[in-house]
Amino acid sequence: MSAAAALPQPGCADAPVLRERGQREVFCGLTGIVWLHRKIQDAFFLVVGSRTCAHLLQSAAGVMIFAEPRFATAIIDERDLAGLADCNAELDRVVTRLLERRPDIRMLFLVGSCPSEVIKLDLSRAAQRLSQRFLPQVRVLNYSGSGIETTFTQGEDACLASLVPEMPAEPGAARSLLVVGALAEVVEDQFLRIFAALGVGPVRFLPSRRATELPAVGHGTRYLLAQPFLNDTARALEARGATRIAAPFPLGVEGTTAWLSAAAEVWGASPARIAEATGAAAARAGAALARIRQRLEGRSIFFFPDSQLEIPLARFLSRELGMRLTEVGTPYLHRQHLAEELALLPAEATLSEGQHVDRQLDRCRALRPDLTVCGLGLANPLEAEGLTTKWSIELVFTPIQGYDQAADLAELFARPLLRHAKLAV
Amino acid sequence: MQLALWTYEGPPHIGAMRVATAMEGVHYVLHAPQGDTYADLLFTMIERRAKRPPVTYTTFQARDLGGDTANLFREAVLDAYERFKPQAMLVGASCTAELIQDDPGGLAKTLGLPIPVVPLELPAYQRKENWGASETFYQLVRACAGPHVPKPGTVRPKNATPRCNILGPTALGFRHRDDVPEVERLLETLGIETHVIAPMGATPADLATLGDADFNVVLYPEVAGQAAAWLRRSFGQPCTTVVPIGVGATRDFVQEVAKLAGVPATTAEGTLRLPWYSRSVDSTYLTGKRVFIFGDATHAIAAARVAEKELGFTVVGLGSYSREFGREIRAAAALHGVEPLITDDYLEVEAQITALQPELVLGTQMERHVAKRLGVPCAVISAPVHVQDFPARNSPQMGLEGANVLFDTWVHPLMMGLEEHLLGMFREDFEFNDVQPSHLGHGAPSQSGKEAAPAAQPMPVPAAETPHSAAGAPLLAWGQDAEKELKKIPFFVRGKARRNTERFAQERGIGTITIETLYDAKAHFSR
């Protein structure tokens, strides 16, 4: 990358991190259901929780656009807590009613919540019991999306980790590539074409589009993380013999090339072959980015912690679009999976982990960045104070990975600035 | 355990947030796990508020549970006091914190803050949002106005100019923003001063003076009923019982407040258009339209009266998710001769709408989805709210302008009179849109031209899903010609025609429905 040469010395690998504790203005892991229930087409997500959980799911992403979603909440009530009703019997009743209503469902996730964790309702036993009852028609799994254990995208991690033991074993040591983390279908298809050109294969995805078609895993499995928040899933895959291919994440041209190359090198592709397979798409994406670069170059950006995508995004925005990083907040800093990213991040960035939202708002107001990336609870109040914001949840719901989405991703950041400049009211 | 796909109401602490956010100078410290902060976006995104709700969450995590969550709470209270300097503070727990039993009220008390600290006990596993709002408002009113309650037997001097408080409007309320000025205007024309509006826009200091008014106007009984009852007991302030939604109710409301204020009941109805629009001959087609109504108790009951008496519809179903107002809903349903539906189970409401086949649904955003799926016109009359329920324009539900708004909003989704007839006569005209009235949007492009072949239309209620065949009765067959004839019936009554014909055939043991059966049934059921 020629752009990189002009930047200050990259490298945040050893940079100090501001660790904060206080109010965390983030979603809990249940929110992942909003995209996972669309991704895995024959799965249903049943949250075992409170009215708050149901209300969160309903409100979080304006999901009422879906007429009949593949998720619901089994709301624990006073009778369950007082022991007047046996929670397990109640859960069985609710699940039976649900499966009668939705005979198309092949996999049911019982999703733990804060209240179910605090009352120590054993959902793994419940899942086993219900699986025995409904197999082979429906497999029942469980994971926790509770706020006391998971932050936003960690819900996807917990869900995928619960799928790993269900993956069939790959016999022998046949080599295969597993791409891990929910991606848009269009992105998966693009990657499949490039991997084919690189001679990398067979390529499989976790999660698969259908729960009944989980990919196989074994000692020959090499996996690439497509998302930076999949700590538990990675551990579970390694326990099944899979090996991680270390790489930056496929955001932007640089990230995508590095990500694809990391796999290609494992398969022994020559640099010439890599250049041939990726050159055209990378050049096309680079040209598209150049147009947006003029609108973002030199502008400062501040990240509130949200999806754990912050560090790869900051790397992309600074190195490929010339944005100036101020604070880059992330709910968790997973140094191992982000090692390649941190090495690329310019040293000017202040990294922060965890949150004390009021203090962070003070810092943001003092810095007055040109663009602030934050959650939905903060965006309008900051706009009202004259700051331009980009709501971060869109970065999780939009296809942003790969070459042909690089410009779309950049556009997401450019649009609020353009809008600000355009409006005369 | 209850299976919920959608919920009409959030948990009770959301109700408390609606009160706190509506007010000035109040801060709410909520003992809650990480993730419960999602509630902020209801206010900043749905209602587009420019300020964060005045709420601090402790956002404890699993690792805190083994340690000292109580101390986390104490620190949060002290920090919030230092940073926000509120006049009064609310403290409480959300569902998860209720289980860990840290006693936020007791903990906050030990901190000795120099402001009123109101502990909220909102049982999250029993109660819901509106109850939480009501309880919070009541506790705040008691805490602020309580010290000013006169000794029993004191006769409070009347104000020279009659004065009232307006109680009930909150943040995130259905058109509360627009109802309040409308009602204020109504009171002003009667020569009545508005003393305090609360919770919306009030400070704790304002609440302390509530007792200075002569009476209270209760706009939303779900929120303010309990506080108004306490003010009546403590300050001898009477309160209104009529909610001014619709022409009749607005007139009744004027009578009621005039009497409470001791002034003549006069209103300038010059801007009221509903009565004339409704009498205008083009509205004849509204007569007897079958309408299903569901919402919070206040809006649903008021809507039933307007629908029946002011638009000439027929109420075929009336229900509410406000269980606390079951008695009122049952009384209203009896008045309209229908079975009340009191439930917070969206699936039950959906089943009822499917079975009743109304021509118009007046409901919440949930019913809007059901109606859309069934191809029935719908207007939204009640919370839960959606970003669309905060229109940029003034759009009250109450008072004179509110009545005008109701006419427009409810009539607009319907097929216009003449179009309905033309559609009945020339059903096969390929340019007729079989999905929605022509004045709404641009129709679905696939419906025009050749693709408008009626056979391709999904039926609002396919035969296999009618209650009769679903109940396991012997399966009925539709003859080809009868099926074709059925499709000539406009879509908005087709479901009813199909259902009636099937019932007719079943009762007579007819196995195959012919054109004759269809018209026999039509004659049999015609009113």
**Is there a contact between A67 and B79 if contact means CB atoms under 8 Å apart?**
no
- Residues in B closer than 8 angstroms to A381, CB to CB, are 44, 49-52
Six-digit token string for A233: 């899933």
- State whether residue A54 sits within 8 Å of chain B by CB: yes
Tell me the shortest Cα–Cα distance from B115 to chain A, in angstroms. Answer: 22
pLDDT (tens, 9 = 90+) of chain B, 527 residues, equals 999 888 999 999 999 999 999 999 999 999 999 999 999 999 999 999 999 999 999 999 998 887 789 999 999 999 999 999 999 999 999 999 999 999 999 999 999 999 999 999 999 999 999 999 999 999 999 999 999 999 988 887 888 999 999 999 999 999 999 999 999 999 999 999 999 999 999 999 999 999 999 999 999 999 999 999 999 999 999 999 999 999 999 999 999 999 999 999 988 898 999 999 999 998 988 999 999 999 999 999 999 999 999 999 999 999 999 999 999 999 999 999 999 999 999 889 999 999 998 999 999 988 998 898 888 999 999 999 888 899 999 999 999 999 999 999 999 888 666 666 666 666 555 555 555 555 555 444 433 333 333 333 333 333 333 333 334 445 788 999 888 888 877 666 777 788 888 888 988 988 899 988 888 888 887 75
Alpha carbons A166 and A215: distance in angstroms, whole number: 9
**What is the DSSP code string of B346-411?**
HHHHHHHHHHH--SEEEE-HHHHHHHHHHT--EEE-SSSP-GGGS-SS---SBHHHHHHHHHHHHH
Closest to B4 (Cβ–Cβ): which among A23, A54, A62? A54
Name the B residues in 251-270 with CB < 8 Å from any A CB.
none
How much is the average pLDDT of A369-373?
Answer: 98
Name the B residues in 355-384 with CB < 8 Å from any A CB.
365-366, 369, 372-373
Q: With bands split at pLDDT 50, 70 and 90, how would you rate the model's confidence at A266?
A: very high
- State whether residue B386 sits within 8 Å of chain A by CB: yes
Helix B221-235 vs helix B297-305: crossing angle, to nearest 10: 100
**Is there a contact between A118 and B65 if contact means CB atoms under 8 Å apart?**
yes
- Residues in B closer than 8 angstroms to A97, CB to CB, are 3
Cis amide linkage into residue A202, ω under 30° from 0: yes
| A230 CB burial (10 A radius; 0-12, 13-18, 19+) | buried
**Is there a contact between B7 and A54 if contact means CB atoms under 8 Å apart?**
yes
Distances (CA, A) of B411 to A236, B170, B360: 58, 28, 9
**Is there a contact between B35 and A59 if contact means CB atoms under 8 Å apart?**
no
**Is there a contact between A68 and B387 if contact means CB atoms under 8 Å apart?**
no
Alpha carbons B372 and B366: distance in angstroms, whole number: 10
Tell me the shortest Cα–Cα distance from A248 to chain B, in angstroms. Answer: 29
Closest to A115 (Cβ–Cβ): which among B10, B49, B99? B99
Beta bridge partners of A111: A47, A143
**Is there a contact between A59 and B41 if contact means CB atoms under 8 Å apart?**
yes
Tell me the shortest Cα–Cα distance from A249 to chain B, in angstroms. Answer: 26
pLDDT over 90 at A381, yes or no: yes
- State whether residue A210 sits within 8 Å of chain B by CB: no
**Nearest residue of chain B to residue A148 (CA atoms):** B61
Quote the pLDDT of residue A53: 96
pLDDT over 80 at A87, yes or no: yes
Cα A218 from chain centroid? 24
- Residues in A closer than 8 angstroms to B42, CB to CB, are 59
**What is the DSSP code string of B182-201?**
HHHHHHHHTT-EEEEEESTT
What average pLDDT is seen over chain A? Answer: 93
pLDDT over 80 at A65, yes or no: no
Residues in Cβ contact with A261 at an 8 Å cutoff, skipping those fewer than 6 apart: A247, A274, A278
Name the A residues in 10-29 with CB < 8 Å from any B CB.
22-29
**Nearest residue of chain A to residue B64 (CA atoms):** A148
Tell me which residues of B are annotated as active site: 282
Quote the pLDDT of residue B474: 55
Tell me the shortest Cα–Cα distance from B122 to chain A, in angstroms. Answer: 13
Alpha carbons B207 and B141: distance in angstroms, whole number: 6
Quote the pLDDT of residue B73: 96
| pTM given for the model | 0.90
Q: With bands split at pLDDT 50, 70 and 90, how would you rate the model's confidence at A67?
A: low
Reduced to 3 states (helix: H, G, I; strand: E, B; else coil), residue A330 is strand
> Could you give the angle at the alpha carbon of A373 between the alpha carbons of A371 and A377, nearest 5°?
120
Tell me the shortest Cα–Cα distance from A56 to chain B, in angstroms. Answer: 7
**Nearest residue of chain B to residue A55 (CA atoms):** B10
**Is there a contact between B3 and A78 if contact means CB atoms under 8 Å apart?**
no
Alpha carbons B235 and B159: distance in angstroms, whole number: 14
User: How many A×B Cβ pairs under 8 Å?
Assistant: 185
Alpha carbons B477 and B460: distance in angstroms, whole number: 18
**Is there a contact between B34 and A98 if contact means CB atoms under 8 Å apart?**
no
**Is there a contact between A73 and B48 if contact means CB atoms under 8 Å apart?**
no
Closest to B35 (Cβ–Cβ): which among A28, A77, A118? A28
Closest to B36 (Cβ–Cβ): which among A52, A76, A78? A52
pLDDT (tens digit per residue) in A142-187: 999 999 999 999 999 999 999 999 999 998 888 999 999 999 999 9
- Burial call B427-457: b when 16+ CB within 10 Å, e when fewer: eeeeebbbbbbeeeeebeeebeeeebebeee
**Nearest residue of chain A to residue B58 (CA atoms):** A23
- State whether residue B54 sits within 8 Å of chain A by CB: no
Tell me the shortest Cα–Cα distance from A154 to chain B, in angstroms. Answer: 12
Quote the pLDDT of residue B461: 31
**Is there a contact between A115 and B95 if contact means CB atoms under 8 Å apart?**
yes
**Is there a contact between A118 and B386 if contact means CB atoms under 8 Å apart?**
no
- State whether residue B35 sits within 8 Å of chain A by CB: yes
pLDDT (tens digit per residue) in A317-347: 999 999 999 999 999 999 999 999 999 999 8
What is this model's ipTM?
Answer: 0.93
Tell me the shortest Cα–Cα distance from B1 to chain A, in angstroms. Answer: 5
Note the maximum CA span of chain A: 70
- State whether residue A118 sits within 8 Å of chain B by CB: yes
How much is the average pLDDT of A131-147?
Answer: 96
- State whether residue B392 sits within 8 Å of chain A by CB: no
- Residues in A closer than 8 angstroms to B6, CB to CB, are 54, 58, 64
**Is there a contact between B45 and A151 if contact means CB atoms under 8 Å apart?**
no
**Is there a contact between B96 and A91 if contact means CB atoms under 8 Å apart?**
no
- State whether residue B323 sits within 8 Å of chain A by CB: no
- State whether residue A394 sits within 8 Å of chain B by CB: no
Residue whose token pair is 């408390």: B16
**Is there a contact between A118 and B5 if contact means CB atoms under 8 Å apart?**
no
Tell me the shortest Cα–Cα distance from B40 to chain A, in angstroms. Answer: 5
- State whether residue A61 sits within 8 Å of chain B by CB: no
Closest to B35 (Cβ–Cβ): which among A62, A73, A147? A147
Looking at per-residue confidence, does A398 or B258 come out higher? B258
Looking at per-residue confidence, does A223 or B447 come out higher? A223
Name the B residues in 134-173 with CB < 8 Å from any A CB.
none
**Is there a contact between A384 and B50 if contact means CB atoms under 8 Å apart?**
yes
pLDDT over 70 at A41, yes or no: yes
Beta bridge partners of B88: B26
Alpha carbons A312 and B372: distance in angstroms, whole number: 42
